[in-house]
Amino acid sequence: MLLLIDAGNTRVKWACIAQDFGQDGLHFPPAWEATGSVSHQGFEQFSQAIAQFSIVSCLISNVAGESLQSEIEQRLQVLFPSLPIRRFRSQAICAGVRNHYLEPTKLGSDRFASMIAAHTQFCGQDLIVATCGTATTIDAITASGDFLGGMILPGLQLMASSLAKNTAQLPQIAQHTDMPSLFATQTDQAIASGCVHAQIGAILSAVARFTEQYQRQPQLLISGGAAPYLLPQLRHVKNLHWQHVENLVLTGLWIASQAETTIHS
């Protein structure tokens, strides 16, 4: 069994998949044996969840620092003492994706894995990929696999929390389950509306700029834990081709694991 780990700034996502799955060709979505997600304080739950599997290989994308990397590796070594643990890192070329970052290795490994997943799963399409988590990343990749770069902005909840903390008399808010209309009539809903539509505006700006520059409209892929809060607003946008996809990073790690490049121990 192959264990894939996406260690982000807030949560650690993981998936187990048969080691030989995909040898007869890539299938989407991948047939995960199990998946899960824990906070940085929830590693006991993580250990209990994966202990039942016969893990023979592990591939990790980690953007949350070396301390978290060490903790993950220590827990894995307790459960599986001889387990090979490999670190996924961005590079210039992988799985048909050409990374045009000025310094390719400086691109976050999660973003690079997402590009690999998006390009492979939606082969032959120009794409804008919006991943909405602690931060929101909005990246562009052409149908031929050229990753053009992207933008990073505060995620939905981070944006709302920052506004609430730094503006007098505005309440601290959690993510709203009932998203208000654009012109809200209560302060906390106005914060939520402003933050949601700021995210939507950045995404639509990326789509429009790509369309203007390349004279063709890209498909929008939206992913991440905060994506469900944005989807209702996307449904109001006319002539926008979009799709909600899940587990892009884990899927990209799985695809990369099928290649023999890009993986460093």
110 is catalytic: yes
**Residue ranges at the known binding site for substrate:** 101, 108-111, 187
Of 20, 110, 126, 146, the active-site residue reads 110
Alpha carbon of residue 105 to chain centroid = 18
AA letter at 19 = Q
**Residue ranges at the known binding site:** 6-13, 101, 108-111, 134, 187
Spatial CB neighbours of 212, under 8 Å, sequence gap ≥ 6 = none
Alpha carbon of residue 126 to chain centroid = 18
Are 196 and 230 contacting, i.e. CB atoms less than 8 angstroms apart? Answer: yes
Number of Cβ atoms within 10 Å of the Cβ of 23: 9
**Residue ranges at the known binding site for ATP:** 6-13, 134
Instruction: Using alpha carbons, select from 108, 174, 133 the residue that is nearest to residue 12.
Output: 133
Task: State the catalytic residues.
Answer: 110
